[in-house]
Amino acid sequence: MKVLHLITSLRTGGAERMLQKVVTALAPKGYTFTVVSLTEASRIGGELEQSGTSVIALCGMGGVLLPHRLGRLVRAVREFQPDVIHSWMYHANVLGHAVAGMRRRGGRPALISSIRGCLDIRSVDKLGLRVVRRLDSWLSPRVDAIVFNSRCAADQHAAFGYSMRRAVVIPNCFDTDHFRPRPEEAAGLRARLGWDGGIAIGFVARFDPYKDHRNLLEAARIVVSRDPRCRFILVGPGCESNNRQLSDGIEKYRLAGSVELLGERRDIGAIQSALDIAVSSSVSESFPNAIGEAMACGTPCVVTDVGDCKLLVGDTGLVVPPADPVALADALVRLASLTADQRRDLGDRARARVVAEYGMERIAGRICSLYEECAGPGLREGMAEQ
């Protein structure tokens, strides 16, 4: 089966990483992939190319393709002759309709669209995004399937006007071989970064209004005043010392020496394993990769009650209301006050939950079944004969 993935970007976001996981898990099963980014290839695109996947970067701006770039997309579809076009995020979903009507040998390709976020705070969205989302909802009855990565996202988009006739919820999956407890590596990393003797609390997320770093800094002020051992580590694009908003917040709450800005890192597995507690202060999430990865590393989590965070964490961590720094601080202090063995027990339960419910093979199997169902019985019979 040939699958063309069409995605808005290939930066290091949740949708991009989930696409990469799908390709990684299904390529050994006989699937052939071409990945088309409406913008640059970026980091994920480079990693996909290194693994042998064909990647085409259309280099559009803001999800808009000029005619020559749209022509390149049309040529890619004609040359690849996909059995399935799987689009990711609103702009790509809309463009998927434009090319899915192209005939291939044996008929048109199946079209599967993906929604990867919730609609908690639509007021901050740009006008262009709101228009594209509305157009995507009008087109949604025409897809062969629409995949939501959380129950919350499905419910909110149904209320917005999306067709649920062919909707399915398939949560994110996690590579539990890569994201796993690494005690020796974690110990070395803690020593190099100066975390020994303290409680390392980490937030792995890009700097974005949805992630609500301001709320986290307010909570950090309370936490540090109650437990000076605690140190906050912010990891992700934009979480650097030259970020004026973060620097001003650290100064405002007198957190110099208690907050460390690491920026974007490639050793996220080691960092998650080295943390004592992982935290998410987001005001909008759907199904956060960073929390699932921390859980797979055996790190207990404190999350805000947005999206499917509560479902993901279950009884292995603590859940607090969003935009409530006092509640967030109370929960962090509560976990910080546990013994190392008690936190390790919570982390072991968190990893077991991710392995059982959200492992790559389990979730990739559901994606595989969806592809075969949408591509039609004729293709399945042909694959069986081969």
Residue 210: partners with Cβ closer than 8 Å, 6 or more residues away: 121, 124, 282, 283, 284, 285
E-state strands within the chain: 2-7, 32-37, 54-57, 84-88, 110-115, 145-148, 167-169, 199-204, 230-235, 259-263, 277-280, 301-304, 318-320
| Chain segment 126-183, per-residue pLDDT in tens | 888 999 999 999 999 999 999 999 999 999 999 999 999 999 999 999 999 999 999 9
Distance CA 351, CA 314 (A): 12
Model-level pTM? Answer: 0.90
Give pLDDT, residue 103: 60
| Chain segment 281-303, per-residue pLDDT in tens | 999 999 999 999 999 999 999 99
Distance CA 327, CA 319 (A): 9
Distance CA 37, CA 6 (A): 6
Give pLDDT, residue 378: 47
> The sheet that has 259-263: what strands, in order across it?
259-263, 230-235, 199-204, 277-280, 301-304, 318-320
Residue 148: CB atoms within 10 A of its CB come to 28
Residue 124: pLDDT above 90?
A: no
Per-residue pLDDT band for 40 (boundaries 50, 70, 90) equals very high
What's the average model confidence in pLDDT over 321-346? 98
Angle at 363 between CA 361 and CA 364, to 5 degrees: 60
Length of the chain: 386
- DSSP for 265-313, please give it: -S-HHHHHHH-SEEEE--S--SS-HHHHHHHHTT--EEEES-TTHHHHH
Distance from the Cα of residue 245 to its chain's centroid:
24
Give pLDDT, residue 272: 97
- For residues 232 and 11, the model is more confident at 232
- DSSP for 246-270, please give it: HHHHHHHTT-TTTEEEEES-S-HHH
Residue 261: pLDDT above 50?
A: yes
**Domains parsed from the chain with CATH numbers:** 2-173+359-385 (3.40.50.2000), 183-358 (3.40.50.2000)
Distance CA 100, CA 98 (A): 6
The first and second tokens of residue 13, run together, are 């976001």
Q: Is 281 exposed, middle or buried (0-12, 13-18, 19+ CB in 10 A)?
A: buried
User: In 3-state terms, what secondary structure has residue 85?
Assistant: strand
Assess contact for 158 and 190: CB atoms under 8 A: no
Distance CA 58, CA 316 (A): 43
Residue 161: CB atoms within 10 A of its CB come to 12
The first and second tokens of residue 277, run together, are 């507690």
